[in-house]
Amino acid sequence: MKLFLDTANVAQVSEIASWGMLDGVTTNPSLVAKEGKDGSTSSPQVFKKTVLEMCKLVPCVSAQVTAVDSEGMIKQGKEYAAWHKHVVVKVPMTTEGLKAVSFFSKKGIKTNVTLVFSSAQAILAAKAGATIISPFIGRLDDQGEDGMGLIAEILEVWENYQFKTEVLVASTRHPRHVVDAARLGAHICTLPYDVFKKLPNHALTDNGLKKFLADWESVKK
Ligand code: E4P
């Protein structure tokens, strides 16, 4: 399973990429806005710079269009895709979005269909030619639904057909989500920085290492 970082912060991407196993980054307009409350990060020049810096660090960077009509999405998406070969154009799961995805698919431009909340939406996006779909599990859990259940259902459907579309588990909230996504065979899981930072930790690892080093020191001449 590929692991992505869900952020618009280049320093965070650089830090996690330095561990040697980061496969990609997902950004969205809210994450971009969070990095610059004065609006600086969502200016076209700064957004492009951010995406390009991330493209130097990882092989797959999702950049979301903000147009809501297919023509506007296609215009923005073509521009993003021309920035760097690592860019994946992120498109919302709407009928306008599906039209844009179908266009991009024919042009060989990679897409990530975001805001997927049902298997029916997942099937439509795959049929339109999406490279990736992003079901948001945390937001479903937040309203009392079963987010990971949706991933299981989508992967069950995928077993029946030859969809090449990768299933990216999005809106994750804690490390257990990564394990559950992997057990189900999801292709990608994206994690916020604070969740990613928790993954390598275990109290027994810390205590074990402390004891090893203390024992080593105790017999040193
Ligand atoms: C994925 O691509 C999205 O950016 C993200 O996972 C949304 O997560 P949230 O529900 O925590 O905002």
- The per-residue pLDDT for range 52-100, each reduced to its tens digit, is 999 999 999 999 999 999 999 999 999 999 999 999 999 999 999 999 9
CA atoms within 13 A on the CB side of 17: 20
Q: What is the largest CA-CA distance in the chain?
A: 74
- Specify the amino acid at residue 208: G
Told to judge if 90 belongs to the known catalytic residues of this protein, a careful annotator would answer: yes
Question: Measured in angstroms, how far is the CA atom of residue 134 from the centroid of ligand 1?
Answer: 9
- Give the Cα-Cα-Cα angle 32, 38, 40 (nearest 5 degrees): 55
Pocket perturbation via mutation, ligand 1, pick of 12, 112, 171, 194 by most ligand atoms within 8 A of CB: 171
The 8-class DSSP code of residue 2 comes to E
pLDDT of the residue at 185: 98
pLDDT of the residue at 190: 98
- The per-residue pLDDT for range 145-154, each reduced to its tens digit, is 999 999 999 9
Point out the catalytic residue in the list 48, 56, 75, 90. Answer: 90
CA distance 121 to 116: 6
pLDDT of the residue at 111: 98
- The per-residue pLDDT for range 87-144, each reduced to its tens digit, is 999 999 999 999 999 999 999 999 999 999 999 999 999 999 999 999 999 999 999 9
Q: How far apart are the first and last CA of the chain?
A: 47
CA distance 211 to 148: 38
Sign for the CA dihedral angle at 204, 206, 173, 14 comes to: negative
**Domains of the chain and CATH, by start:** 2-220 (3.20.20.70)
Q: Which residues contact 39 (CB under 8 A, 6 or more apart)?
A: 33
